[in-house]
Structure formats: C-alpha cells, structure tokens
Chain A
Amino acid sequence: MTSIGKASPLRWTYLIFVWATILFVLVPLATTIWVAFFSNKILSFPPEGYTGTWFVQAWSLEAFRSGFFLSFQVAICASVLALCLGVPAALAIGRYQFRGREFINTVLMSPLMIPAIVAGSAIYLFYIELQIWSDVQFASTVYGLTLAHALIAIPWVLRLLVASLAGLDPAIEEASLSLGATRLTTFFRITLPLIRPGITAGVLFGFIASFGDLEKSLLLVGPGRITLPIAMLNYLEYRTDPTIMAVATIQVLIIAIALIVSDRYVRLGRTF
C-alpha cells in the first residue's frame, strides 16, 4: 500500500476496482451456498424462508448419491496410484542430474498442459481401439476411469514433492549414507519422514483435481455410472433449483476441507 499515494480519487478508484474484482470471483460461490438454503421450490428471489430440506432431497436422488460415491472412490484410488508412481519419479527429478531429465519432467507434467477435452477424447478413442484388439473393456469401466484420473493427479504429486525435496538439505541424506546406512534405509528412515508434508499435500491435491474433474471424465464414464460433476452438469442443463445448489454446496465444502487440511502441510500462499 506504500507505493500508490495517499488518499486520492485515483487511489479510491483503484481500491474499489480491486475489491469489486475479488467479489466478482467469490460472489457466484457465495450465491450458490445462499440459494441452497432457500425454501422456494423453484429458483426465484427474494427467499420466502430458509430450510435445510434440499440437502436431504439431494441425497435422496440416486444420480447424486452414486455420483458422489463413484467420484470419491475414483479420486482416492487415482491419487494413491499417482502417489506410487509419483514419489520415485519426484526423487529422480529432485535428486539426480541425468540426461533427459527435462524431457521426462515435461512429459510427466503434460496432463496439466494438454487441453482436458482433447486428452479425454484421445483416451476414449484409445480405450475403444484397445478393446477391439484385446477384447478387454476399458471405456465406461471404473478401472479405465481411475487410470485416466491417476493421470490428472500425477502432475500435482510431482510438483508438490519436487518442491518439498528442493527445501530438504541433501547433506542430511549424505550423512546417513556415509554413516553406513543403505540407500533404501536412508530413504525410509530419513527422506520419507522429512518429505511427508509434501506427500500429504500431493495426495490431497491429486484428490481434489480428480474429484472436481469434468472434461477428462465426460467420455469415459458409463451409463448409470457417472461422477458427481457430470451428474451436476446433466442436471443443470435442464433445470436450476435449490437442490442442485445444495449438491454444489456439498462439493464446495468437501474441497474446501481438503484445501484447508493441505494448507496445514504446505502453506497455500507459498505454493502458488
């Protein structure tokens, strides 16, 4: 605040614009949560009263309930799988200098860069080809969906782990090695405990990215087996009522909890 001068019309315009922009980002979320408690049956203003029945109603709708469980299951399996693949990869990238390091890093981060709808379509067509060759069904199965979601989670695990390895003094590992511990012992007794916050955050971010994904999953889900964001999209295309806002509120709450928990392990302000 030091740099733009004292109270002047220019400064006031600037401050108003800043807060208006912040509101512009936050107001839609706040409105969603507000409307979820309206007692109006259809969307209208002003509220006739407030009620919590839409949350019960949302839970009683099969599409949302099963969508929630599927999303949860897929997000957990995918982030665990991404962790198993991501921890060794992060060690290689964070601790070694080797030929092709940049290339491997770029490929592993590419799921973040390649447009989700294009990637989703490519994976879908690939699954179909695979099925024609091998007679094993991948498209519209939970396994196929989980594999694709692991792809979403890998860049997050990698990014947060490499960052946490960079903050770790290699001298500590060296000391362990020179005192006679094997590489494996050093990893499990020294490195792993020290990068645990990074691992926790990586899994949480992987979970969040997978749980909220829409575009990559669109083509990969099967009839009667859709994830929560897709169930929400399908519903919203035909009607807007407090029930769907209750569902959105629940999703927002789950992700907010996951983010606040991960904020304890890695300060969000420093990661971004």
Chain B
Amino acid sequence: MTDKENIFDVAVIGAGVIGCAVARELSRRRARILVLERESDVGEGTSKANSAIIHGGFDAKPGTLKAKYNVIGNAMMDRVSEELDVPFSRIGALVVSRSAEGDETVRELLARGEKNGVGGLRVLSGDEARALEPGLTDDVTSALYCPSSGIVCPFELTLGFAENAAKNGVVFKLNSEVTAIRREGEGFAVTASGAEYFARAVVNCAGVFSAKIREMIAERDYTITPRRGEYLLLDKNAGGTVSHTVFGTPSKQGKGVLVTPTVHGNLMVGPTAEAVDDPEDTATTGSGISKLKDMSAHNVKNIPYKLVITSFAGLRATGDTGDFIIREDEKVKNFFEAAAIESPGLSSAPAIGAAVAETVSDALSLEENENFDPVRRGVPRLSRMSDEERAEYIKKNPDYGQIICRCEGVSEGEILDAIRRPLGATTLDGVKRRVRAGMGRCQSGFCSPRVIAILSRELGISYGEVKKNG
C-alpha cells in the first residue's frame, strides 16, 4: 500500500510543543512533512502540564544545549507569540533566598546567567526584592531578578505551532502510535496504528517515549526517566498574590517550587519532582500537594489555598545525560532526535524547532517555501474584547452571544470555532485547552453537559462517545 499519500520527506514523531515547533519550522521549506501522534490531540503529554514559564536562561550550566536554546528561545518569543497569537507576558522572575547558602546560590546564578548571555539580571537585597514583589515573605534575604522571564499559555503555544504547520501543508495523523521503524532504501518505513508511512528523514520528538522510539531504529545510548511534577492551580481571585514568577533557589531536585500568576490571571504553585516508572503516571498525591503548600509558604506569604480550583501533574522527560539530546544519529543517517527535553524545554521550543529544522533541511537539501505564511490567528476571545468589538462579533455571528462556560465567559461561537478549525478539538479537554471552557472555578460542573451536547452534535457522535481526553 505504498500510495503517494503515505510518502513524505520528513516524519516527525510526537505532536508535543517540540514536534509541532519542528514541523512548523520545517514547513518554511518545500517538503512533504508528516507528524505522527499517538493521542487524539496535539500537546497531550508534557506540553499540557508544566510550569508555563519562558525562563530567562540563567539556570542551565554554561555551554549546555539547555543554556543555548533557552536564551535563544526566550529572545524569539516576542515574535513567535505575535505571529502565532499566543498569550505571552514578560512579567519577570525572582529567585529568592532565605539563607546565607541561598544568597551564595543567587550570586552563582547571576554569574551563570551572565555567562549564558541573559540580559538585565540583578541581585536584589531582601528589602529591594520585597519592594518589587510585596508578596514575598520577610524571610527572604536576597533575590536574583530576571526581567526577561515570562509566562505563556503552553496549550496555545503548542496549538499555534501545530495549526500554523497545518496551514503550511504539514499533515497531522492523530491517534497514530508508532510501533515500528525500519530502513527502507535511503529512508524509513514507519508503522503507526496499522498504517505504514515512508519518509526520507525521521525526527524523534516523542517526549517521555523518545528512548523507546529510538530503540526501534538505533542503538540505545540514553534513557528517559519520567519525573513527575505536581501543581496546584488557584482561582483568578488569587491571581494577584504575586506579580512575578517567584522561584525558590534551585537544587538537584529542580528549580524549586515556584509561585506565579498565569497568563490567564490564575495563580499557580508547583512543581514537585519525583521519578516515576510509568510514563503515563500523572496522578497527583496527597503528599505532593502538602509539600507544595509547605514549600511555597516559605517564599510567598498569604497564598489563599482555600481558592485552589484544581491540582494536576505532568511528566518531564529527564534524560541521563543531564542535557537536551539534539542531534542527527551518527550511524543511522537521517534519523534526528530532539529528546530529553525537560525544563527549560518549553522556553527552548522555538529555538529547538528552528535548529532541528535547519539540520534536517540541510541534510535533505530542502528548498525554501516561498508560500510559507508565518501567521496563525487563534479563536477570537470575546471576553478579552472591548464592548464595541464584542458587539460587532455577536452581530455577525449570534453564536458568540450564547455563553456556555460562565466562569471563563466562553461563548458557543468560540467552542464551535475550537471544534471546526483545522486540527480542531474532539474531546472535552481539547475544547478546554483551546478556549478555556471548563477551565474556571467551577471546573466544568456547569458547562460540561453543554459542551458534551455541542461535541456530540458537531462530530455526529453519541454522548457516550464524547471523551474527556484521549
């Protein structure tokens, strides 16, 4: 069944933020590009459950890929968020210390950040830090201030890359789990959920499953340990608790627990860091939740934990090399990898996408696509519009006047847009990530029956077939 439809120049495995960024950057070239994703939607793994921070880049060891791509990725975010219509805000970050040892770490981070090329870093005294961020506790003795750090909507960033890639001709095959890769002439035959695809090059962006994918075609030379991070999300009424991203000083366990406003105005606390065996184990734990509450209270005062609206957990794809693995395989020609992309992976995604695309396109001698359109527009968000603009929209399409999700003020028109657009939502969570219906303080108690009804109608499926996710 080698029909033309299944022949590609490049097959990207995994539609997380990295796979989608690679695909989007590749679509700047004239090539047939395929993205294979085991889930029913893009961004269903690590990309949907993380800190949603665009880090400054002071944390990674100088000379590592993490440092390099974080700093480049951060600098790219203004343009990327503009082109892809992704909520992004440089609110700045503070790494706070409460001890002499921590003060030392703060100074080390400053030196490291400067070596990495991060601009604008400053060490503040405890009082200076509190003047900038009144939410800090009196225990804070010093802080590193990083003005270039920002917050982003990770769902929209992934969707932005994916939808823009699709607009520029990239083919997405969802519900397509890769089970085998073999050499076929100069290229590869990739089996995914029963179908076979041929590609001149394969890019492994499979997140926590990347080592498993690698072993289908190349020798094992790294391992991935899923490292679980639990988070608490608080009501928008708690969003003003801090106005910067506040980190504790980092340790081997990660960057420490952070407290941050989200780009949508909620407050988020997290993550924990715990190695788990199961690459799908995103369960939260009682101990994790209490740990977050304890640790965050050291740095930020008066976090209103009564206003928690949900908790969740994500898995970081932690490699055993200590750094991102971004390369063409030495032995298997045209097999590329962007693996072990843990933090600062989201921040690095735009840069990793561009770098991998360039390597692949050089290897395949791809030509420029003059028709590439870098612009993606998200679903119009009526609750963010002026009254006049909103009135205009409803006049043109009355569906925008019917509110379905009362907490986030999401109209039926927006939900229909989320379902009907290319790579549209097919599940409740898919709708939630695209337009925030069900993301608010009642956590879909009110709107879920209504969204189920809309999905059922639009997709021509029964209520029982409407899934939460997957």
A and B: interacting chains? no
Binding site for B on A (CB under 8 A): none
Binding site for A on B (CB under 8 A): none
